[in-house]
Chain A
Amino acid sequence: MIINHPLLGPRDAQEFTYLGDASLIDRPDWQAEDAQQQFYEYTYLRENPAGEHRELWFHEAGDRSWLVVTRNTLTHEISNVEMASDVARARGRSK
């Protein structure tokens, strides 16, 4: 596969390591009332879609960016690649 890195252009997927569902960005608030339940779901529950999937890839043999890659699990077509830090900020993460 080829991943079109937002900063570096097309790179072979061999340069990356895969983590999984990009929902890992949405780490719950530890002080929430139901923090235990939220963390349980965050840690263990994943969608397993046959189709578009947003997932985290780490450019380990490159610039060490975490990327959010939108990939179709049926065709391997990659429709979007974003910097994970941009996605995290857009989802309200900061410090």
Chain B
Amino acid sequence: MTTTPLPRSLQADSSPQSRPDSLGRFGKFGGKYVPETLMPALFELEAAYQQYRNEPDFQQELQGLLRDYVGRPSPLYFAERLTEHYARPDGTGVQIYLKREDLNHTGAHKINNALAQALLAKRMGKQRIIAETGAGQHGVATATVCARFGLKCIIYMGVHDMERQSLNVFRMRLMGAEVCPVASGTGTLKDACSEAIRDWVTNVETTHYILGSVAGPHPYPMMVRDFHAVIGQETRVQAYEKWGGLPDILLACVGGGSNAIGLFHEFIDEPTVRLIGVEAAGHGVETEKHAATLTKGRVGVLHGAMSYLLQDEDGQVIEPHSVSAGLDYPGVGPEHSFLMELGRAEYYAVTDQQALDAFQQLSQLEGIIPALETAHAIAYLDTLCPQLTGSPRLVINCSGRGDKDVLTVSKILNP
């Protein structure tokens, strides 16, 4: 296998460990575009993170909980029948593995970050936790860790999302969280995020905001990435155990982009590993109803970070659309914008219909019901597999399980 030299920008001085820079920049992306009231809190958070990230006591507690409470490491599973489905007539073809984040406690990757941030909040002496949620997975993960540590928990959720993810609303309330409906805008993730930031501006001195994606102002994109980097780190070890090498292709869905970055981060400096993110094309990227930020957006600022953004001619943020509540976001994490402009990662989009087909396909071929978000990554196999030669090893981040989506999908399939 030939190795291409690393792009200069990915060499030592800007290794993943040193990205972002001290101002929170990934190239021109990232930064801190927030009201002054929050700036001291962001500095405090960054200082706390830098202090505790390598502290043995913090790491010991985190690693112990990731093992015994979350259930890590999550398996790297060879999807035999899915692989057969995409095999060529001669039997060769892509070898498909699933990184089973859906088997984590609470059913998605989101718990990795929520748990670590809760430990951080505890050490910072913050007893009140707020979070935004779209699909409800991050809200459930946050409610879970707040119950575990006895922290007061308030979750902001769009009214539209509360309806389509009612099961998760119940789960959050069951664990003692207060779920605050957000009716402004279209009542989806972006509005919930704005409302969480408004709460934080108001209660910043007592409150920690557990932001759920690699979006938002610095240090969130860096910190959330680092807390999810365990996904890729385990994948490297498991790949080595299974076939003694690296994966060839990594595939993950991208809304804000946390599960994708979690898988990619470990391999960004491995030039032979192809990184592919899949966005939500909704009704199609040529329509006005999609959430394909990197595919169709322009550079802008939303929720504290400069990144690609779905916006109109006047710079007003456009309401996105996706069948999947977790991908229904007009922005994207700044590091994804950086990786795309650098050419290090590729981003494509699949429609609601393609995702719904993949949702059923994985259920039927593997007995695994994926989250609708995850189904977007799986759906891209239809496009990708015919383009590949040989038998590359492909790892899909199976970022969440689809129990939360069965009601939505059953309504669509049996109207």
| A and B found bound together | no
Instruction: Give the A-binding residues of B (Cβ under 8 A).
Output: none
Instruction: Give the B-binding residues of A (Cβ under 8 A).
Output: none
